[in-house]
Amino acid sequence: MDGRPYFISVEEARAITFQTPPPLRVEEVPIESAVNRILARDLASKVNDPPFDNSAMDGFACRHDANATYPRTMDIVGTQAASGANENIEVMDGQAVRIMTGAPMPPGTDAILPVERCTVEGQHVVFTEAPKPHFVRRKGENLEAGAVALTKGMQLTPSRVGLCATMGHATVPVYQRLRVGIVSTGDELKSPGEPLKHGEIYESNSFGLAGLVEWSGHEPVRYPAVADTMGALRATLNEASADCDLILTSGGVSMGEFDYVRRVMEEEGDIHFWRMKIRPGSPPLFGLWNSTPLFGLPGNPVSSHVVFRMLVAPYLRHALGSDGPKEWTVRAKLCDAVKSTNDCVTLRRVTLTSTEEGMMAHQPRHQGSGNLESLASASGLTLLQPGQSGDVGEWIDVLVL
Ligand code: AMP
Ligand code: MG
């Protein structure tokens, strides 16, 4: 490996990838299509939220009178709808205005009594108790005009997209989705739908990885599976590097004779590290092909997924400085033994169940790194650190899938 980092910890591997970020571009998008995008600049509110004092309840607005006694009969002098029509009703002591939720407080009023605590009798209303100032939502109490409520790097969740609108933004500056090329390699791979000959399997990694790229908020570009030859691989990598910001390959990075991704990267690319202390998924490499960052992910379907979550997803979040998509870890008690190692992080697939004692992690059956069903039916991955015990009864961190 010519002195290049080899078989390093997950932290070391991440640190190396962080030094070679993908190119970033900013675009302005309508908020209708902003969900899950990453904000590229801080966003200040253009207005006060709420923009005016208004009622939190359907009921009656009036002046709060500390000396009044209840029940108290008031004169109804008007109706205030949420649109703010009839806004200029001037309300005197002993008078009340029928008011709808969200409607501006009429001049002279400062308290609300909800409709269910009143009895209406023609042009009068009997208050059974005192009206409450806290049913008034004050101008700017949620957000003052000019306040920065969303900051650069935030992932625009549905509630944050709603907040963009509340703050008066019809469009928002976000990072362009990165184009992520996905190149699977292997002579044995056939597309689903085609007949299989003996020795062939269906190609699944590019579909799973494309899903992970979309989950990360970026744009997958799938290439047809590449045969195990230097020429075919070189041609596809050239095409992908011309067209994409980042390349993910799958397969061909182990020690085998036909592991051409490693070979072509060694001979014609630029490898920044090879192999990482993680199980499953130890073979990955990272480097540059024609100055495009490239992750060489393992071919085993579970491994490629796990390495994406542990290495590629943190790389993408770091590049954009983003806080999403969120990775959740929970503490869980192991209900089945997991074999740990002294040098690797062990990521076994577990099923999580919530009990009164806390979260329980079960590992229902044997797991191979080629068994995609065991990943599809799991809800978490054990984050067993090197040397940490995986005995039954241990409380460990689990990455939620
Ligand atoms: P490799 O790293 O290329 O030796 O691949 C390791 C294992 O993963 C082999 O059993 C391959 O057949 C399998 N594999 C490689 N690429 C894919 C893929 N794209 N989809 C499904 N299985 C794959
Ligand atoms: Mg292969």
Q: Could you report the per-residue pLDDT of 316-326, keeping only the tens digit for each? A: 999 999 998 98
At residue 256, the pLDDT reads 84
State if residue 191 touches ligand 1 by the CB under 6 angstroms criterion.
no
Could you read off the pLDDT of 244-291 as tens digits, one per residue?
A: 999 999 999 998 888 999 999 999 999 999 999 999 999 999 999 999
Tell me the pLDDT band of 2, cut-offs 50, 70 and 90. Answer: low
- If you take atom 5 of ligand 1, which residue's CA is the nearest one? 299
Q: How far is CA 273 from CA 254, 265, 300, in A?
A: 13, 11, 20
39: closest CA among 160, 142, 180?
Answer: 160
Q: Which bound ligand lies closest to the C-alpha atom of 254?
A: 1
**How do strand 329-334 and strand 358-362 relate by DSSP bridges?**
parallel
Distance 228 CA to ligand 2 centre (A): 7
Strand partners, 155: 38
Q: What dihedral angle (degrees, nearest 10) is formed by the CA atoms of 54, 60, 61, 62?
A: -170
* The model's pTM: 0.93
298 CA closest ligand 1 atom index: 2
Q: DSSP code of 282?
A: -
State if residue 171 touches ligand 1 by the CB under 6 angstroms criterion.
no
Tell me the pLDDT band of 81, cut-offs 50, 70 and 90. Answer: confident
240: closest CA among 255, 254, 223, 224?
Answer: 223
383: closest CA among 320, 310, 324?
Answer: 310
Beta carbons of 341 and 390 less than 8 angstroms apart:
no
Q: Provide the token pair at 401.
A: 């899938």
- SS3 string of 118-177? EEEECCEEEECCCCEHHHEECCCCCECCCCEEECCCCECCHHHHHHHHHCCCCEEEEECC
Q: Does the pLDDT at position 86 exceed 70?
A: no
Distance 400 CA to ligand 1 centre (A): 25
Q: Which bound ligand lies closest to the C-alpha atom of 209?
A: 1
Tell me the pLDDT band of 87, cut-offs 50, 70 and 90. Answer: low
State if residue 254 touches ligand 1 by the CB under 6 angstroms criterion.
yes
The residue-averaged pLDDT of 152-163 equals: 98
Beta carbons of 218 and 207 less than 8 angstroms apart:
no
Beta carbons of 396 and 360 less than 8 angstroms apart:
no
State if residue 251 touches ligand 1 by the CB under 6 angstroms criterion.
yes
Beta carbons of 310 and 13 less than 8 angstroms apart:
no
Q: Does the pLDDT at position 83 exceed 80?
A: no
Tell me the pLDDT band of 55, cut-offs 50, 70 and 90. Answer: very high
CB within 8 Å of 256: residues ≥ 6 apart? none
The SS3 of residue 100 is coil
185 CA closest ligand 1 atom index: 16
- If you take atom 17 of ligand 1, which residue's CA is the nearest one? 299
The SS3 of residue 183 is strand
Q: Which of 182, 200, 202, 205 to mutate to test the pocket of ligand 1 (most atoms within 8 A of CB)?
A: 205
Q: Which bound ligand lies closest to the C-alpha atom of 253?
A: 1
Angle at 321 between CA 318 and CA 325, to 5 degrees: 80
Q: Which bound ligand lies closest to the C-alpha atom of 222?
A: 1
At residue 329, the pLDDT reads 97
Distance 275 CA to ligand 1 centre (A): 17
From start to end of 81-123, where are the E strands? 95-99, 111-114, 118-121
Beta carbons of 289 and 242 less than 8 angstroms apart:
no
378: closest CA among 365, 397, 396?
Answer: 365
Distance 298 CA to ligand 2 centre (A): 9
Please count the residues of the chain: 401
Rounded-to-integer distance, Cα 393 and Cα 336, Å: 8
Rounded-to-integer distance, Cα 126 and Cα 116, Å: 11
Q: Sort 48 into a burial class: Cβ within 10 Å, 0-12 / 13-18 / 19+.
A: middle
Please state, as a whole number, how many other Cβ atoms lie within 10 Å of the Cβ of residue 234. 17
State if residue 200 touches ligand 1 by the CB under 6 angstroms criterion.
no
At residue 121, the pLDDT reads 95
Please state, as a whole number, how many other Cβ atoms lie within 10 Å of the Cβ of residue 236. 21
